[in-house]
Structures are given as C-alpha cells and as structure tokens.
Amino acid sequence: MFSNPFSLSRRWLRRSQGLLAMICPLFLLCYVPVIQADGIVHSDTGSKRIILSNSYAGSDFRKVMVQNWKEVASKAQQKRLIKDAPVISANNSVAEQAQQIQNMIMEGYDAIVILAGSDTALRGLVHDACQAGVVVVILASKVNDPCVYEVNYDWDEMGRAEIEYVAERLQGKGNLLEIRGIAGDATDDDISAGLHKAAQQYPDLKIVHTVYGQWTNSVAKKEVALALPTLPEIDAVVDQGGDGYGAAMAFKEAGRPLPIIVMGNRQDELAFWQQERDKHGYETFSISASPSISQVGFWVAQQILAGKEVPKVVKVPLVTIHSDELDAWLEKMPVGGAANPPYSRQDVVKMIDASLHQ
C-alpha cells in the first residue's frame, strides 16, 4: 500500500521545522523570512534605516515625489516597519550627490534608494555601498553595477506612445520639436532614444530641433521661446513631462499656432489642455511617470530587507491620460500636483512578483 505523498510532505515539514528550531539558535545568521499568502514578507524590519538620495528637487514632479516618500515613510514608521527613512536632495550636482551618498554609507544606512544624477559618476560609490552590505535600489535612473536593484519605467514605450499618437494625428508627416530633460541624465537619454527609435518608422516625421527643458515649465518656456524665431512651422511637440505648459506659453506669446503638445500629467498642463479643448476643441494626450514611484522604491527596499526575493529590475507602469479621462483626473488633482496613483506595500509586492515571472 502506497503512502500518501501529501502526508509524507507534512511529516517531513514538521521534522524540518523542528530541526531548524534546534539549529537556528546555534547560528547567528540563521534567518527564515515570514511570507504570507499575499506575497508580503512580514519579517521584522523595525530596526532598519532606509534613505532616499535625490539628485534634484527643483521641479514640481520631484517635489511631489519627495512628499510621497515622506508620506509612506511616516506611515511605515508608525507601524514600526522601519526605524527611519529621511530624504536628502542634491542641487542637480553629481559631486554633491556623491558626497551625500558617501556620508550615507558611513552613517550605516541599511538601504539607500538613489535617483541618480549620473549613470557613470556614481558607479564607484554604489559599488562601495554594496561591498559595505548596503542594499542599493536605483530609482527611475541607471547605475550599471550588478549589485543594484532597479525600479524603473519602460521609457522605450513612452517614446513609442508619443510618436504613434503624433503620427496618427499628422498622418505620418510633420515637423516635431523635442523637449528633453537634463543633459547627461540616464532617464533623459532613455526617453529620447525611445522617441528617435519610434520616429524611424515614419520618415516624413522630422525632429527639426531639440531643447533641454529640465522637466520644468519655466526652463522649457524660455528655451522654446529662444528657439522659435529660427524654426519652421512646428506641427507637434514631443517631450518628457513637466514641460508641456511652458512650451504652450512660448508658442502663444510668440503668436505661433499651437501645435499638438504631448502633455506630461502635471496639473497645469492638464488644466491648460482642458481650457483649450473647451474653447477651441484642442486635442492631445498625456503620458508620464508618476512621482509616487518613490513609494515603489521605498517598499522594494523594505521588502529586500525583510528577505523577499526581488528581481534585479522591477517595472512600474506609466500613467496615460486620454481625452475622455481628462475631467475625472483633474477633479481629484490639487493645483501644482500630478497624476499620481499611490502605491501600497501590497501594490508593490504585486509588481515585484510580476517582474519575477516575466
């Protein structure tokens, strides 16, 4: 008569647990994560410290991102899921950010979440952090070292979506102005590369000029205004978010026809789109990252510290807004805000598990 394999498995599990209970006290490194059915690892991280290193805090997006981090960190501290989780921002200076990260390593943080100002200049410090036993999570940027975890968007998809929309509206032919972010930033490079890759499918779509708007309306407005006198008629503006309203103001003040401007989910951009739609039937669409990616970075770091298996790359969905969704998004969006879904620990664990099985 054959034994029930499930019964054997249960007996083996009970014996293994008993043996583990006897062995664990003998070894300080013995550690068993507590994993619930929801996928969350509930091991004690109440003594752990996580810190966010932010390369730049000058745009509305970054300000909201920092606020989102502080909100989730405060709640996690109240629940004793973490001891401390401050934010330190550099003033768009890689040297300043590097010094800050060096201090974080020396101060003994258990995890550092980094929105990097350079994909190369911080590589040595990131490697040093890993060698010191620090968990390093790179957020919406890149630092190429095999020890890091990356939380990021599919920037190729963002570029493709913008070009596909513009190509459909313009029937595959027209002059495009590209507004980039910050020169040397990996995210800026990735989004621009995605745009140009997608544009190759439409030889009659011409990117006739490029400016750097630093993801900020005031800078974008200034740079577009300086460029416009030398440019031919512009049919569409492709960009990276945070610059749509500034670009629109530059065209308006120059007395130029308002082109299709892909918006970047900021409240001022969406409100302008709504106003122009209601007055003149203006149409576009909006796509961008969300500032709440900082919450994803926080929970990824916390779950790594808790012992959860996490892939080296965790993908976060982009937020897209079409005309029929515009009013609903604006109704719940504060002035100065952005389209910004919150991410709970459960939400992030689902992203982690989905990325594990890709």
Give yes or no for residue 85 having a pLDDT over 60.
Answer: yes
Nearest CA to 45 out of 348, 296, 347, 303 is that of: 303
How many other C-beta atoms lie within 10 A of the C-beta of residue 327? Answer: 12
pLDDT range class, residue 5, cuts 50, 70, 90: very low
Return the ∠ at Cα 15 (arms to 13 and 16), rounded to 5°. 60
Nearest CA to 286 out of 238, 251, 220, 252 is that of: 238
Give Cβ neighbours of residue 311 (< 8 Å, ≥ 6 apart).
149, 352, 355, 356, 358
Give yes or no for residue 26 having a pLDDT over 60.
Answer: no
CA distance 235 to 177: 8
Give Cβ neighbours of residue 354 (< 8 Å, ≥ 6 apart).
315
Per residue in 279-303, pLDDT (tens digit) is 999 999 999 999 999 999 999 999 9
Mean confidence (pLDDT) of the chain: 90
The residue written with tokens 């120059």 in the block is 254
CA distance 178 to 188: 12
Q: Do domains 50-153+291-317+341-356 and 155-288 have the same CATH topology?
A: yes
Q: What's residue 37's pLDDT?
A: 60
| Cβ contact 165:262 at 8 Å | yes
CATH label, 155-288, candidates 2.40.50.140, 3.60.15.10, 3.40.50.2300, 3.10.50.40: 3.40.50.2300
Q: Is 16 helix (H, G, I), strand (E, B) or coil?
A: helix
Per residue in 165-202, pLDDT (tens digit) is 999 999 999 999 999 999 988 889 999 999 999 999 99
Give Cβ neighbours of residue 139 (< 8 Å, ≥ 6 apart).
52, 113, 114, 115, 151, 152, 293, 294, 296, 297
Percentage of the chain lying above the pLDDT 70 cut: 90
Per residue in 92-106, pLDDT (tens digit) is 899 999 999 999 999
CA distance 280 to 252: 14
CA distance 298 to 111: 9
Give yes or no for residue 51 having a pLDDT over 80.
Answer: yes
CA distance 256 to 261: 13
CATH of domain 50-153+291-317+341-356: 3.40.50.2300
**Between 287 and 34, the higher pLDDT residue:** 287
Per residue in 214-253, pLDDT (tens digit) is 999 999 999 999 999 999 999 999 999 889 999 999 999 9
pLDDT range class, residue 67, cuts 50, 70, 90: very high
Phi, psi of 343 (to 5 degrees): -120, 115
Sequence spans of domains, the chain: 50-153+291-317+341-356, 155-288
The H-assigned helical ranges of 59-154 are 60-78, 94-106, 123-131
The residue written with tokens 């509930």 in the block is 42
CA distance 211 to 181: 9
Give yes or no for residue 329 having a pLDDT over 80.
Answer: yes
